Amino acid sequence: MPSNEAPDAPRFPPVNLAEIDLGRITANYRAVERAAGGAGMLPVLKANAYGHGLIPVARHLEALEPAGMAVAFLEEGALLRDAGVSCPILVMGGIDVDQIPHFIAYDLTITASSVEKLREVDKAAGKLGATARLHLKIDTGMGRIGMRPDTAPAMFEAGLAAEHVEVEAVYSHFATADCADPEQTRRQLESFHRAVSFYSARGVTTPKLHIANSGAILQHPESRLDLVRPGILLYGHYPADSDQAPRTIRVSPALTWKSRVVYFKVQPAGCPVGYGAAWTPDRDTRVITVPVGYGHGYFRALSDRGEVIVGGHRRPIAGRVCMDQLMVDIGPDGEAYNGDEVVLIGSQGEASITADELARWAGTITYEVLTNINTRVERRYIGAGTTS
């Protein structure tokens, strides 16, 4: 757990810090909410709130009065309940039957993705004398979990017949909503609507419906149904490049990742730096050491590719990123002192580096950059009073 979520942990001046601007998360939330056109907000907080800190972000968001929150696993939902978060919490991942009593005990909303799982939930809730809350999952084209639309009516029937469950919603997930070609997304949405027409055909109330993720919120307004599920948008990033997912909603990154200079030296020409002697300066230069590496979630793939900001200038990484440290070439005339701030993601002066850039350099996606910033990097929160 990040130290922000463990108040009894020892506190030391951090050399690696992720600063989270909760005011920006609020602004992003409100921007998405306006675009949602009256749909309820179901913000996604899985994977430690995309690296931003599960419990502090959830506590902040709860004050914004969302329809609920969504996580991926039982463990995440239980952490939120233990922290006092009381709003509805949907667990979107597939469930293990042995976990069902714990879902019910923690008052977590369960994703039922098959007739068998739904019946197991009904049975477990009956034994506990409780009513379990469910969202039913349809696989309209993701191929992950959920019943196919042509077989989903069997699950809907089982939900109507169950005695100890309340089916609150039916949902699905888009595979290509962040892509320029809309055809797959349109097919999925049409398939979803055909499947849930079961309820009107049976003359019963249709549960709430949701399918819009960040990409769909941006460019498929017809998919903003009863609820929307903003994920990466909430944290100020877009799910794809602008040529794939237009920036129809303005959001700003909430996370800045900083470290500090802990060593400075002059490196003579011809003297290699780092593991494998993979980088050798061709002239005398100045090299600083920064106490962050792949053991913190800063990818080794950024070796000789990534840049950091020090002294208001972007400077290249020299040699291979180590587990706990990396070296930076600040040039023959560069200046840096022990204790100086080093920015890995964010801005310093006129210079800035985005998580999107790190993703491109590392050959991955922004989601992975953010969720890989692990608990060796302390989280610190600002703007906590901003909820409007």
Helix (H, G, I), strand (E, B) or coil at 253: coil
- In whole angstroms, give the CA distance from residue 267 to residue 261: 16
Question: Which token pair is 221?
Answer: 């307004």
- Least Cα distance to 240 among 51, 248, 28 occurs for 248
Neighbours of 127 (CB within 10 A): 12
The DSSP bridge partners found for residue 360 are: none
C-alpha angle 236/237/241, rounded to 5°? Answer: 150
- pLDDT of 6 > 60? The answer is no
Question: Which token pair is 117?
Answer: 């799982």
Please compute the mean of the pLDDT values over residues 170-180 and round it to a whole number. Answer: 97
Helix (H, G, I), strand (E, B) or coil at 250: coil
- In whole angstroms, give the CA distance from residue 129 to residue 47: 32
pLDDT for 386: 59
Distance from first CA to last CA of the chain, Å, rounded?
28
Q: What is the DSSP letter of 207?
A: P
Contacts of 34 (CB under 8 A, 6+ apart): none
- In whole angstroms, give the CA distance from residue 308 to residue 357: 11
pLDDT for 13: 87
| Residue among 106, 123, 208, 275 flagged as catalytic | 275
pLDDT for 150: 95
Q: Which CATH number fits domain 23-235: 3.20.20.10, 3.30.465.10, 3.90.1280.10, 3.30.200.190?
A: 3.20.20.10
Using a pLDDT cut of 70, give the percent of the chain over it: 96
- pLDDT of 7 > 70? The answer is no
Contact 31, 249 (CB under 8 A): yes
Contact 372, 299 (CB under 8 A): yes
Catalytic status, residue 275: yes
pLDDT for 388: 52
Q: What is the pTM of this model?
A: 0.94
- pLDDT of 9 > 90? The answer is no
Catalytic status, residue 46: yes
Please compute the mean of the pLDDT values over residues 54-62 and round it to a whole number. Answer: 98
- pLDDT of 5 > 70? The answer is no
**Class of domain 255-353 (CATH, top level):** mainly beta
Q: What is the pLDDT of residues 213-272, one digit of tens each?
A: 999 999 999 999 999 999 999 999 999 998 899 999 999 999 999 999 999 999 999 999
Question: Which token pair is 142?
Answer: 């993701």
Question: Which token pair is 263?
Answer: 């060593």
pLDDT for 12: 83
- Least Cα distance to 88 among 146, 133, 37 occurs for 133
- pLDDT of 105 > 60? The answer is yes
Contacts of 150 (CB under 8 A, 6+ apart): none
- In whole angstroms, give the CA distance from residue 359 to residue 368: 8
Question: Which token pair is 121?
Answer: 């939930």
> What are the sequence ranges of the domains in the chain?
23-235, 255-353
HSE value, Cβ hemisphere, 13 Å, CA-based, for 41: 23
| Residue among 29, 46, 137, 381 flagged as catalytic | 46
The amino acid present at 73, given as its one-letter code, is F
- pLDDT of 169 > 70? The answer is yes
- In whole angstroms, give the CA distance from residue 270 to residue 83: 55
The amino acid present at 369, given as its one-letter code, is V
pLDDT for 269: 97
Q: What is the pLDDT of residues 61-94, one digit of tens each?
A: 999 999 999 999 999 999 999 999 999 999 999 9
Query: What's the gap between Cα 98 and its chain centre?
Result: 27
Helix (H, G, I), strand (E, B) or coil at 117: helix
pLDDT for 384: 73
Q: What is the pLDDT of residues 339-383, one digit of tens each?
A: 999 999 999 999 999 999 999 999 999 999 999 999 999 999 998
- In whole angstroms, give the CA distance from residue 91 to residue 163: 21
The DSSP bridge partners found for residue 288 are: 264, 328
Q: What is the pLDDT of residues 12-46, one digit of tens each?
A: 889 999 999 999 999 999 999 999 999 999 999 99
